[in-house]
Amino acid sequence: MKKKMVALLTSVVMATSMLVGCGAAEEAPAPAPAEELAAEAEAEEVADEAAEEAVAEIGADTQAIIDRGVLKVGVKNAVVGFGFQDTLTEEYSGLEISIAEKIAEKLGVDIEFTAVTAATRTELLDSGDIDCVLATFTITDERKESWDFSTPYFTDHVTVLVETASGITDLAALKDKTVGVSSGSTSAKSLTQAMIDAGVIEGADFDPETFDAATWTEGISYKQYDDYPAISTALSAGEVDAFCVDKSILAIYNTDERNYIDDEFAPQDYGVATKKGSDFSAYVETCVTDWLADGTIAGFISENGLD
Ligand code: GLU
């Protein structure tokens, strides 16, 4: 029944846009007023019923957010173009902020942002302090076992930032160096895999399932930090030789005295994370796929200079 109505509504919309799109509206003979009114009434009825169906489809988890009147979202606060908070105005901006605001608008609720890190975002989601995470959160098979992820809304790559004076310009020059990474991130595993793929290290003991940045010492070692400013400080202090994470995150730490190495690797698909099995996951997935299809997300990407 619902499918039929959606199909009917879709064909009404398609027919309308085809007429407008091809300019045929001007050529088509004007329908008699009575027919026109009947068609309008029918379209309205279909639209009303479809709207009722959509509301009826909202599950208990999503309804709880609507009843609360606030969508609580975990975002980054220092990733320019994705999740960035102006320290003076306290306003958030970026692709992830715009997507989150649009979800809240569709739900008809206010929005509350919580700044998260790679280390805190999942705890906050698990505890229910936040309803979803839009925080440069890479979709991985391992993570999908614990949280639901939407279709990706953006793909970035991992790279490495160094002090220019170090003379490090590629993966080969990172051999036997110490690299700063964030705890809870994909960075160390991605870099180790990239060094193996480039033939810089052999990696006989590398197992992506069990890899642990804390114990890996073959050809490269890692120091883990709770947040990115701490890694940047460690790089300046010479505590680490390099800083590895997604390029989008590194941008703000790329000062005049620093440069990226030549290599970019390990595509990072960012998705909206929600509690596993929550009906809100399905709601978010519909939002993301609709907004990928209709160009809304592409618009946010270009507004934020990410294309
Ligand atoms: N995107 C990577 C990850 O999800 C880097 C960490 C981060 O997002 O802060 O692990």
Task: Please give the DSSP secondary-structure letter assigned to residue 25.
Answer: H
**Angle at 145 (CA atoms; ends 123, 198), nearest 5 degrees:** 95
Furthest C-alpha separation in the chain? 81
Q: Is 185 in the pocket of ligand 1 (CB under 6 A)?
A: yes
State the residue for tokens 């509350």: 112
Is 304 touching ligand 1 by the criterion CB < 6 Å? no
Residue 242 in tokens:
């390099």
What is the model's pLDDT at position 57? 75
48 alpha carbon – ligand 1 mean position (Å): 42
Q: How far apart are CA 157 and CA 149, in angstroms?
A: 18
Distance of alpha carbon 198 from alpha carbon 80, whole angstroms: 30
Query: CA 252, CA 214: separation in Å to the nearest integer?
Result: 26
Q: CA-CA-CA-CA torsion for 119, 122, 124, 127, nearest 10 degrees?
A: -140
Residue 74: its pLDDT value, please? 98
Centre of ligand 1 to C-alpha 274, Å, is 16
pLDDT of residue 23: 36
Q: How high is the pLDDT of residue 12?
A: 39
Cβ 307 vs Cβ 301: under 8 Å:
yes
Residue with token string 């489809």? 57
Residue pair 69/110 in contact by the 8 Å Cβ criterion: yes
Q: Are 93 and 81 in contact (CB under 8 A)?
A: no
**Token representation of residue 235:** 């790089």
List the chain residues with pLDDT less than 50. Answer: 1-29, 52-56
Angle formed by the axes of helices 95-107 and 279-293, to 10°?
120
User: From the CA of 138, how far away is ligand 1's center (Å)?
Assistant: 6
Q: Tell me: the pLDDT tens digits for 186-235?
A: 999 999 999 999 999 999 999 999 999 999 999 999 999 999 999 999 99
DSSP H or E segment with residue 110: strand 110-115
pLDDT at 197: 97
Find the distance separating the first CA and the last CA of the chain, reported in whole Å.
41
- 138 CB under 6 A from ligand 1? yes
Ligand 1 pocket check for 137: Cβ under 6 Å: yes
Q: Whose CA is nearest to atom 9 of ligand 1?
A: 118
> Given this model, what pLDDT does residue 186 score?
97
Pocket probe for ligand 1: among 80, 136, 247, the residue whose CB has the most ligand atoms within 8 Å is 136
Helix residue spans in the chain (DSSP H): 2-22, 24-27, 33-56, 60-68, 95-107, 121-127, 141-144, 187-197, 228-236, 247-250, 279-293, 296-303
